[in-house]
Structure 1
């Protein structure tokens, strides 16, 4: 099974050397550290790629990445795990860890290729992840339409998988969409502060009650629910930006954030 690129040349360069140049111009010089999970944005690299690079470059990536993102297309199941094979990437194909996929399927996750065929949120992370960990394996999962209890149950399944394997969770999510910059900044930090508090229920309720169009709310809540001993963990914001910094249009912006939990 082979998942070809969908947004190569659109959201990020199709040329390997251009990707490498972009990453090397934005990566941090800090010593990479281990983390439990990170949240990175998935807009075009011109808008949010620098934030993703700055975040991922701070992390010592394990070989196996459980890659969670929203299902923008609506195709496929609610918890859709790509079954196996490889994903195309300009820096080299990335294998799916089929043993880890099987463990998730045994626990009730859905083996679902169609949900991933046109979905961009996971694909845009691969070149950056591949740059920093050449022998990368992935477990791609797209989410849609889960209530909080479903998120909690999915988080427990992922916790068991992380405990059994050399892996970490990478969540792909943008924050508020297409409101003015003042509104977006306010809404984004309403959500970001709940994440920094590791408050999954507070995040879920805040996003719903304040109408925050954070596309990756479900995978973020699932990931937070996979964490244990939260009192020993620390979340930090790498940076928050908006599309206005690139477009110059402050009237209709999208918010982006890089967050590390370790």
Structure 2
């Protein structure tokens, strides 16, 4: 690996100017942190209610639209990572391949991904691990225009210190394919898993709200078979995480649920956004 994967959507999905981007991301995270600090801790069991949690999640689902539309939802997904700022050293992101027909999952050959905040080195050891899995290939074309992974990066650069990146574009893959990849990269408390996905697309506001609420319940029930094409563009990676979360007896917290009609005001044809945290138990039964 000796190339750089340059930003494809700086200036469109988020500001290209570092100062403007910093101001936007810090403002969004500030709102999200204030909300979390003002609300009580949730009960120890999974609740359908949207509640905060002071623990640090092992995995998150976050949206990937332009920051003007889904930035506050993404910020609510990432705000809880502050407590692990020094601890998380590797981030694994799975995002759908919107622009390239892909079988399985694709890594980039780049040595680093670039945003207006600078370079994030790709994790060479993880690449070596993934090279042994038949569902993973190296394919730069799947990454060159892809926004689903890129839009997560400025938030991560703000909430974490130095970390390495495993960026996987996801195409046609089975739930077991994804679960196998995630299990191979799961690691310990130094590793964060991010699934990048929006929810329903281009439905009228009320219809979208109803569908996305159903999707929320499906995610909380860890039922990957029910995440269909109409529910989420990142459904393939979602299914893999949900399948593994069920096996690992993880706890899921719904952090936020809204759509572009809530953020832009246009309710004729909206896109849904959601944020979820996935927690695992340590050997003493405590949330980590």
Q: In the alignment, which residue of structure 2 is the partner of 1:86? A: 112
1:224-239 matched pairs, under 5 angstroms: 224-227=242-245, 229-231=247-249, 233-239=250-256
Residue range with higher mean Cα deviation, 102-111 or 28-37: 28-37
Q: 1:173 aligns with which of 186, 189, 197?
A: 197
How far does residue 261 in structure 1 lie from its aligned partner after superposition? 0.9
SS of structure 1 residue aligned to 2:9:
coil
Alpha carbons of structure 1 residues 236 and 125: separation in structure 2 relative to 1, 3 Å:
same
Matched, 1:38 2:65: no
The question of whether the paired residues in 1 share the 8 Å contact of 2:259 and 2:271 is answered with yes
| Structure 1: segments with no counterpart, 5+ residues | none
SS of structure 2 residue aligned to 1:80:
strand
How far does residue 75 in structure 1 lie from its aligned partner after superposition? 4.2
Q: In the alignment, which residue of structure 2 is the partner of 1:190? A: 214
Q: 1:68 aligns with which of 91, 94, 101?
A: 94
Alpha carbons of structure 1 residues 152 and 245: separation in structure 2 relative to 1, 3 Å:
same
Q: In the alignment, which residue of structure 2 is the partner of 1:221? A: 239
Q: CA RMSD in A?
A: 1.9
The question of whether the paired residues in 2 share the 8 Å contact of 1:83 and 1:101 is answered with no
How far does residue 77 in structure 1 lie from its aligned partner after superposition? 4.0
- Write the deviation string for residues 234-255 of structure 1: whole angstroms up to 9, x where unpaired: 1111111111123322110000
What is the TM-score normalised by the length of structure 1? 0.89
Alpha carbons of structure 1 residues 246 and 153: separation in structure 2 relative to 1, 3 Å:
closer
SS of structure 2 residue aligned to 1:121:
coil
The question of whether the paired residues in 2 share the 8 Å contact of 1:177 and 1:255 is answered with yes
Residue range with higher mean Cα deviation, 17-26 or 162-171: 162-171
- State the aligned residue count: 252
The question of whether the paired residues in 2 share the 8 Å contact of 1:69 and 1:216 is answered with yes
Q: In the alignment, which residue of structure 1 is the partner of 2:282? A: none
Q: 2:7 aligns with which of 5, 18, 25?
A: 5
Residue range with higher mean Cα deviation, 212-221 or 47-56: 212-221
Tell me how far apart the structure 1 counterparts of residues 186 and 240 of structure 2 sit (CA, whole Å).
Answer: 13
What is the TM-score normalised by the length of structure 2? 0.82
| Structure 2: segments with no counterpart, 5+ residues | 38-52, 280-288
